[in-house]
Amino acid sequence: MDFAWSDQQRELLDAVGRFAREQLDYDVIENDRKAIFNHEAWRKCGDFGIQGLLVPTEYGGLGQDPLTTVAVLERLGYACKDNGLLFSINAHMWTAVSPLVNNGTEAQKQKFLPGLCNGTLIGGNAMSEPNSGSDAFALATTATKTGDKYILNGSKIFITNGPVADLLVVFANVDKSRGADGVTAFIVEKGMPGFDPSHKIEKMGVRTSPMSEVFFENCEVPAENLLGKEGGGAFLFTRSLTWERGCILASAVGSMQRLLEKCIRYANERRQGGQSIGKFQQVATKIVEMKMRVESARHMLYHFGWVAGHRKAVYLEAAMTKLHIADAWVKCAEDAIQIHGGYGYMTEYEVERELRDAIGAKLYSGTSEIQRNIIASLIGL
């Protein structure tokens, strides 16, 4: 077992750290307060190569393996404090780009992937509905085929990137009597008649990542925008969600590392009762636990990346990785506030935002409870 990075991987990781530090870290407090999406940073990330990490080179990507991809995203999360931007990028990569790579027709790939890679196009997906979340395939949105078009009707909620998206992978049922077997994926593009993604939703964390409620009212989608097969949506969704689960918190591991270093610095600098607070066992223990969480999260992440590059079935690893990192991130952020005391609770110190940003990780891409259900069923319970 070799844990060393190759020279090439190390160069990529160094380049990412430097890029993020110099190009992405600005206006985060202000953008968080006003819930502003940083378009310029998005375009730079595209130009730099982030969005296309896993995409084959013939479609404008970098054709990297999953392990390198998660390591790059981890480094990005370490060097860039804008967790919302990274959340948007993750949603784009795992819910729009990766389904297109895996299921798109040649024409669809040629049309959309280069733009999705280089930062000119923004993608996302639309699955959750007001009455179907964890029970995802119970969705109520319908698609009716008429000639060479599908007519979509219904509404979707909690759509990451909705307000700024150029395209969304939308799940709708072509035949409700077939249940999950009727679920079908479509590429819905901005400006298609009857498509309204403009109803923004305010949220607790990752506020720089825009979110909206999306409505389809006799929305006309040309048949060429069918993604995969009619009725193939459930399979497509499960496959892309598995990837999403394994990778979406890669940047969170970087964020935890940043928090850890920040806490060590603070615990060494801050003096109370004649000594650094890091010398008090209660503080030291918290930081040691933080270190243990970061390291174990990183090992699970890299292991997921390695497994994903070597075999197809990664359901168990993806669910365990997601569950572990989400819990670890929230706990790290909470402890980081405690270590910083009153200062940690203040916006200016940029610790409280991390906790608000982290909490969503226990909800999106399957709640922590759903991950436990998946793990339970996969280990024979």
Write out the catalytic residue numbers: 244
By C-beta, is 53 or 358 nearer to other proteins? 53
By C-beta, is 8 or 218 nearer to other proteins? 8
Compute the distance between CA of residue 125 and CA of residue 160 in angstroms, rounded to an integer: 8
* Nearest C-alpha neighbor of 93 from the set 302, 247, 208: 247
162 CB-near residues (< 8 Å, 6+ apart): 124, 126, 168, 197, 200, 210, 211, 212, 213, 214
28: left (phi over 0), alpha (psi -120 to 50) or beta: alpha
Is 11 one of the binding residues for other proteins (CB under 8 A)? yes
Is 200 one of the binding residues for other proteins (CB under 8 A)? no
Residue 199 β-bridge partners: 213
Q: Which of residues 57-96 bind other proteins (CB under 8 A)?
A: 62, 72
User: How near is the Cβ of 11 to other proteins at its closest, in Å?
Assistant: 6
Is 189 one of the binding residues for other proteins (CB under 8 A)? no
By C-beta, is 27 or 196 nearer to other proteins? 27
296: left (phi over 0), alpha (psi -120 to 50) or beta: alpha
By C-beta, is 79 or 236 nearer to other proteins? 79
User: How near is the Cβ of 25 to other proteins at its closest, in Å?
Assistant: 12
- With beta carbons less than 8 A apart as the criterion, state whether 361 and 249 touch: yes
User: How near is the Cβ of 70 to other proteins at its closest, in Å?
Assistant: 15
User: How near is the Cβ of 261 to other proteins at its closest, in Å?
Assistant: 11
Among residues 14, 30, 58, 217, the one that binds other proteins under rule CB under 8 A: 14
Alpha helical stretches, state H, 145-249: 233-247
Is 326 one of the binding residues for other proteins (CB under 8 A)? no
Among residues 37, 42, 48, 59, the one that binds other proteins under rule CB under 8 A: 48
Residue with tokens 């009707």: 153
Number of residues located near other proteins, criterion CB under 8 A: 20
Is 250 one of the binding residues for other proteins (CB under 8 A)? no
Judged by the rule CB under 8 A, the positions of this chain that interact with other proteins are 7-8, 10-12, 14-16, 18-19, 21-23, 47-50, 53, 62, 72
